[in-house]
Chains A and B, each alone.
Chain A
Amino acid sequence: MKDAKHLGRRSFIKASVLAGVAAPAVPVFAQGQGEPAPRKVAPPGTAAAAAENGALPLVDDEPQLVKRPGSDFMVDLLKATDTRYVAAMAGATFRGLHESIVNYGGNRAPELIVCVHEEISAGIAHGYAKVANQPMACLVHSTVGLLHASMAIYNAWCDRAPMMVIAGNSLDATKRRPGVEWVHSAQDLGAFVREYVKYDDTPVSLEHYAESYMRAHELSMTPPYEPVMIVADSELQEEDVGEGARLKVPARAPVSPPAAAPEAIERAAGILLAASAPLIVADRAARSQRGVDLIVELATLLNAPVIDRAGRLNMPTTHYLCQTSLQNTLVRQADAILGLELTDLWGTINAVPDVIGRPSRRIANGDAKVIGISANYGYVRSVVQDAQRYFAADLAIDADAEASLPSLIAAVHRQASPEQLATIGARTEKLKAAYTTMRADDASAAAIGWDASPISTARLSMEIWEQISGLDWGLVSNHAFVSSWPQRLWDFTKYHQYIGGEGGYGVGYGAPAAVGAALAHRDAGRIAVAIQCDGDLMMLPGALWTAAHHRLPLLMVMHNNRSWHQETMHLKRMAGRRDRDPYSWAIGTMMTDPEIDFAQIARGMGVHAEGPISKPDELVGALQRALEVVKSGRPALLDTLTQMR
């Protein structure tokens, strides 16, 4: 009978997990207790080397080599899932996989994307997935690396973005060297992030790893898309699987996204057709260009205006039914509201103003029928409160919106009477007039402060737009922080042109996500444009180095308002309500004294940079110079001093 001491490494891991960590029959620690402590450390030398490593080898001995490391098989899995990139900052617990990616895999599909912080790795994977529409792998170093990455994983989870997190770890305690390797190991690594990944597993064999990896990949790409995590044990990575071992890469089995039940779709179509003022509100509804096309088709069929909550690009801003700027009026006027993959259905129908007591009130018409279609109905976690407030919709459908739209469109076609179609058609002129007026009003609002210095965010947005509108581009930053000017003024027509925001509103998403998105845009022959917040870049400026290192065509224009602006308002609000020091709001909320030189930071990372630019007239030239750099396949940053929002 084998004892634990003589089990192979892989067998030991399996035995440990299946039976609990078994205590050795004779505790090693106890065996050494009777030995006297050395009086001093022995000096290095031949004898010491022999004591530590064994006798020096004879010249005709075979060197001990690992010819088929397990991590090569892990690379096979990455390739089998068409994983083009693995973002990583080097770490010892995945050294085997790191080496396999570079040498066995040839550092091509997957290629290592070199990062200087694990939060950057995960942020890059987040941004990449939303453009490429497939997950990128993010390789992290056990406890410390995963903790660094956890903020960005949380953002991606809230944002329903797919991501394959592969975490190195050393489960077999007897193989850990004393000291660092113990604190860089966890008995249950998944526990660190379990509340905000869809699935995690700690495989104890390569066969187990393969099946869990494929399951994780499937789950990540089944709506709601989410990050998943697989622990790649260091022993599994480094162990020789042996010449005769037969390891099989499981077949991929993409899961068809959940579509709505037919009876629910029929009811929804009936409600929408009976309405005189139907409204569509979409957040993360479109998962692809097909999703955008379907929303346009449904909206046009119903002549229903669309409020694009911009979790992704759902509706072309050039379409007369894209009326996001009119949302306050539209929600109040609508008698039927269709919510598609909304982050917050309750918050669409109701409001909680930030006043003392925080009273809530319904803003939608009291008689309005509300329909919710979302894959989130069946996916809620308890610890993290992203489910938002409970709302009893008239019709709640647990299904993926994009997958359900074809049947909803078909049902509307089927049910619509000639009279209803005539009524719907009669709404066109008024809706077009409202759209035209909305665009004019947005343009009018943008003109206020047009010549101001620091530069208004409207001017900044429009000067960028003037330079990129003739190119193949994608905006890879959250436009909400610049008063949504791009959404209000630019012509967004394609799904890939906008990817939404943080998801979890965790600061530090912007720069790495922009880099990841730029990677995917580069592969598609496009340039990426980010309006980059200053506070966000200060979190993870090292993302710039990755952009320079990998020659990514990313134009980053700073929204440098020299503050954590939201917090300035919160502090002012608190002091005002308490009738306290009216000048205290700036303490802890401003990034002045000294002012940060972002251009110098960028240049230090190998990125072309200019600035600070505070005069709007200087923007055009700087943008043109920066774009020339970007078109040549390198990143560029303009530090522009801006108004607050």
Chain B
Amino acid sequence: MRIPLLLVPTVVLSVAIILSPSSARTSAQSIARLTAPYETGDPGQRLYVRQGCYQCHGLAGQGSILSGPPLSASRLDDTSFRRYVRNPKGAMPPYTSWALPDDDLGQIERFVRLLQAGRPYTAVPALAKVAASGARPNTANTVADGEALYRRNCAVCHGAAREGGIAPNLIKEGKNRDASAIAALILDPPEGMPSLTPDPLSKAETDAVARFVATPS
């Protein structure tokens, strides 16, 4: 008689486990073995690794042209960051609150916020040599200058060719707004768009970016 009595709670517990979403995460234990070489003691980093974020964005948040954008320079605010992770665009898979509970997402976000943007390339002699190849012409306040600033500060969300991504397509933005209106929008960004002034964009640089965005592509 004892054996059946012991079985009852076991069966009930098993049913409960089967019905629970967390029970589907049967591989949590095995992944710890597989990803151990990449993990540090930081709980946010550990989640960043085990959720596979580093596969596309790199352990240093450096990203790759082949997998995903860098995260170390992300200027998304908390709301936009979470909204994007839950419902991303492009090839990135969605992370539901079942797959990535809010607390875990918060830990990952904290880890991402701590990622270093990297030292300036000018501080790395080998990279400084690469950048110095070819004399740089005087292009201050030209469209080309604005394009360079755009690429460094805006392309991660709006796309390298202004084709859109996390943020809207800007290819035809010049038809909707002139340069001064675009500059005003950068200075007073709408919800979800990070503030880019006065750092990293000065007023003059903001104007250069705005002129570039207003130029037909």
**B51 contacts the other chain (CB 8 A):** yes
Q: In residues 542-563 of chain A, which contact B (Cβ within 8 Å)?
A: 562-563
**A234 contacts the other chain (CB 8 A):** no
Partner of A448, one of B118, B145, B152: B118
Interface centre among B34, B35, B94, B96 (most CB of A within 10 A): B34
**A425 contacts the other chain (CB 8 A):** no
Q: How far is the CB of B149 from chain A (nearest CB, A)?
A: 10
Q: Indicate whether A587 sits within 8 Å of B30 (C-beta atoms), given known contacts A436-B136, A447-B121.
A: yes
Q: In residues 567-592 of chain A, which contact B (Cβ within 8 Å)?
A: 568-569, 572-577, 579-587, 590, 592
Partner of A447, one of B90, B95, B124: B124
**A16 contacts the other chain (CB 8 A):** no
The DSSP consensus for interface residues of chain B is loop
What residues of A have a CB within 8 angstroms of the CB of B33 in the complex? 592-593
Once the chains bind, are A573 and B91 in contact (CB under 8 Å)? yes
Once the chains bind, are A429 and B137 in contact (CB under 8 Å)? yes
Once the chains bind, are B35 and A569 in contact (CB under 8 Å)? no
**A410 contacts the other chain (CB 8 A):** no
Instruction: Give Cα A305–Cα B34 distance, bound, in whole angstroms.
Output: 45
Q: In residues 60-107 of chain A, which contact B (Cβ within 8 Å)?
A: none
What residues of B have a CB within 8 angstroms of the CB of A439 in the complex? 130-131, 133-134
Residue in B closest to A431 when the chains form the complex, CB atoms: B144
Once the chains bind, are A433 and B137 in contact (CB under 8 Å)? yes
Once the chains bind, are A643 and B36 in contact (CB under 8 Å)? no
What residues of A have a CB within 8 angstroms of the CB of B60 in the complex? 448-449, 452, 456, 643
What residues of B have a CB within 8 angstroms of the CB of A444 in the complex? 118, 120-121, 127, 131, 152
Task: Give the interface residue-count category, chain B.
Answer: 35 or more
**A443 contacts the other chain (CB 8 A):** yes
Q: Indicate whether A440 sits within 8 Å of B37 (C-beta atoms), given known contacts A568-B52, A585-B52, A645-B58.
A: no
Q: How far is the CB of B25 from chain A (nearest CB, A)?
A: 5
Q: In residues 320-336 of chain A, which contact B (Cβ within 8 Å)?
A: 320, 325-326, 328-329, 331-333
Once the chains bind, are A449 and B31 in contact (CB under 8 Å)? no
Residue in B closest to A614 when the chains form the complex, CB atoms: B37
Q: Indicate whether A595 sits within 8 Å of B37 (C-beta atoms), given known contacts A576-B93, A644-B54.
A: yes
What residues of A have a CB within 8 angstroms of the CB of B28 in the complex? 583
Q: In residues 155-171 of chain B, which contact A (Cβ within 8 Å)?
A: 159-161, 163, 171
Once the chains bind, are B72 and A448 in contact (CB under 8 Å)? yes
5 A-B contacts (beta carbon < 8 Å): A440-B121, A447-B124, A462-B126, A592-B36, A645-B64
A443-B131, A489-B130, A587-B34 known; 17 new pairs, CB 8 Å cut-off, are A328-B163, A332-B171, A355-B90, A434-B147, A439-B130, A439-B134, A441-B151, A445-B70, A448-B61, A452-B60, A456-B62, A457-B64, A569-B56, A569-B67, A583-B50, A584-B31, A644-B55
Interface residues of A (CB under 8 A from B): 318, 320, 325-326, 328-329, 331-333, 353-355, 363, 429-430, 432-437, 439-450, 452, 454, 456-458, 462-463, 465-466, 480-481, 483-484, 489, 491, 562-563, 565, 568-569, 572-577, 579-587, 590, 592-593, 595, 641, 643-645
Interface residues of B (CB under 8 A from A): 24-28, 30-31, 33-38, 50-52, 54-56, 58-67, 70, 72-73, 90-96, 98-100, 116-121, 123-124, 126-128, 130-131, 133-137, 139, 142, 144-145, 147-148, 151-152, 159-161, 163, 171, 217
